Structure 1
C-alpha cells in the first residue's frame, strides 16, 4: 500500500433544517372575525373591573394574531401605575414627551395594562407616558387592557416605549425575579419556568450587581456571564441566593479589573476602552469556541482565573494596536 493512506470519501454534510415559513395571510383572524364571537368569562369580568375603577370599555375585540380578548378602555389616570419592577424613569424622556404632546394636541399611543389586586391597573410599558400625562394634568389615559396578569411580567418583549440598555434590562429582570420569589401564588416557580420573561440568565446576576453599584460596568463582563450562567430549575427564592453569590464574585472581579485599569493609566494610557481591554486579556473563554452540546464553563472557576489574571495584569504588554481595535469594536452595551 502506498505510504499515503487511501482517503475515505467525505461524509456528506448534514443539511440544516430550514424553518418553515408560514404562507402569507395564513395566521390569525380575518378582519371580520376580530369583533365576532361571545366574550370569554375573563373578558366579561375585565369589563366589570374597568367600570368599577371608574373607566369605560370603549370596545372589546380579539387580538388578530393570537385571538385573545382585549379591551380598548379609557381609564382614570390615577388608577394606572407602572409595574414595580420596571427600569428607572428617564426624566429627560418623560419631559420630552410632555413637551411634544401639547404641540400635537392629542395623545394616540395607548398603554398596555392588566388589573392589579387593588382595584386599579398596572402597565408594563407605559411609565414615561403616565409621567408625561400626569405632569400635563391629564385625567384619562387610553389603554389596551388584558385579563391575563402574566402579561405584566413580559416587560422586555413588550416594551417598545424606549430602547433598553443592558442596565435597564438587568434591573428589570432582577426586580421581576424578586417579585416572583416574594409572591405566595408563585411558590415553586423557577427561572426556567419564566425564561421568556427573563430573557437571559446572565441578566439576573448582572441585575444584582447594578443594585449594589449603579455604575457597574456590566457590558464588560456580560459575554463571560452569559457563557457561564443558565436558567435554574430550582424555586426562584433558592436560585436568587446563587445569583447573589455570583454577583459578589463579579463585583470582586471588577475591583481587580479597576486596579489593573489604574495601572494602565499610570503607564500613560488614556482611553475609554481600558476596562474592556483588560477584561478581554484575562478572559479564559476568549478563544474557546462553544459547541452546541458542550457543557457550560464553571462560573466560579472562570471568575477565579480572571481575578488572578487581573491581579497579574502587565500594562507593558498592551500595544497601541490593542487600543485601536477596542475603539473600533466598542466597549459593550451599558
Structure 2
C-alpha cells in the first residue's frame, strides 16, 4: 500500500532511534523489505492517513527515511486490532544462545554453497563471536557464553578464507574456549568449596582473568590467540584463597544463567 496512507497508532511507545538506524542499514544493504507491518483501517480518519499500524512503526519509519513510496502490509479488518499493540508485540528477542546457534547453523549451510568468506556474510552473521560461540553451544548446551562474549567481541574478526576452510579454524577456537571454561569451572568450584555462593561466580572469575578489562585504550589490539592464551594462563594461576565475599559484592554483572 502507499506508505503515505499509514501512520502509527497515536498512543504507542516512542521510536528507538538505534533500532530504526539498524533497520535502515539492513534494509538498505539487502535492497528489499520482506517483513510486513500490521495495518488497521482508521474508522474516522481526520488526516490523509487511512491506516494505523499497531505493530511496525520502526519498520515504517525506516522505510520512510529510505524514501520508500509503498510498504508491504497485512491489513487486519477488525478495528480492535489497533488497540492490541501489547499482544501483537509479544515476540521474544533472541538471547545469546539462540542467536549463536542460529548463526552457526546458517554458517554450516552456506559453507557448502560456494567460495564465499565470512566477510561476505557479515550482515547475516552480525559479529564473528557468534560463529565461535555457536560451536561452543553445540558442544556444550549449558555453556555460559555470556561470560565470554564481551571478550570475544573485542578480539574476534571475520576470517578472509572460504568458509568451508575457515570452519576448522573456528572449531579449534571453540575448543580453546571450552578448555578455558574447564579451568574457570574448577576455580568456581573452589570458590564454592570455601563457602562463597553467588550467581555471579563464573562471570566474576572470567572478569578477573580478562586481559582487556584494564588494557589502555591506546594499546595494540590483542588477537584471539593472544587474548585466550593470556586468559588460560591467568585462570591456571587464579588463587581462590585470596578472594573474599566483598570482592564478589563489588564486581556486579549479570548472573551466569541469565541467558
User: Which of the five TM-score ranges fits, normalised by the shorter chain?
Assistant: 0.5 to 0.7
Aligned counterpart for 2:4 among listed residues 31, 34, 37 = 31
8 Å contact kept, 1:219–1:331:
no
8 Å contact kept, 1:260–1:313:
yes
Residue 302 of structure 1: aligned partner: 227
8 Å contact kept, 1:220–1:279:
yes
Once the two structures are TM-superposed, the CA of residue 329 in structure 1 deviates from its matched residue by: 2.7
8 Å contact kept, 1:253–1:307:
yes
The 4+ residue runs of structure 1 with deviation greater than 2 A are 29-32, 63-74, 328-334
Residue 256 of structure 1: aligned partner: 183
Normalised by the length of structure 2, the TM-score is 0.65
Larger Rg: 1
Structure 2: segments with no counterpart, 5+ residues: 6-59, 83-87
* Local SS of the residue matching 1:329: coil
* Local SS of the residue matching 1:278: helix
Work out whether 1:266 is the aligned partner of 2:196: no
Residue 245 of structure 1: aligned partner: 172
Once the two structures are TM-superposed, the CA of residue 215 in structure 1 deviates from its matched residue by: 0.3
8 Å contact kept, 1:191–1:231:
yes
| In structure 2, C-alpha distance between the alignment counterparts of 1:290 and 1:279, rounded to whole Å | 20
Structure 1: segments with no counterpart, 5+ residues: 1-28, 33-62, 75-103, 109-128, 130-158
Cα deviation, 1:310-333, whole Å, max 9, x if unaligned, reads 22211122122221123x332476
Residue 329 of structure 1: aligned partner: 253
Residue 313 of structure 1: aligned partner: 238
Cα deviation, 1:37-92, whole Å, max 9, x if unaligned, reads xxxxxxxxxxxxxxxxxxxxxxxxxx854549876689xxxxxxxxxxxxxxxxxx
| In structure 2, C-alpha distance between the alignment counterparts of 1:284 and 1:243, rounded to whole Å | 21
- With over 3 angstroms needed to count, the CA separation of the structure-2 counterparts of 1:256 and 1:30, relative to structure 1, is closer
* Local SS of the residue matching 1:257: helix
| In structure 2, C-alpha distance between the alignment counterparts of 1:279 and 1:255, rounded to whole Å | 12
Cα RMSD over matched residues? Answer: 3.2
8 Å contact kept, 2:196–2:245:
no
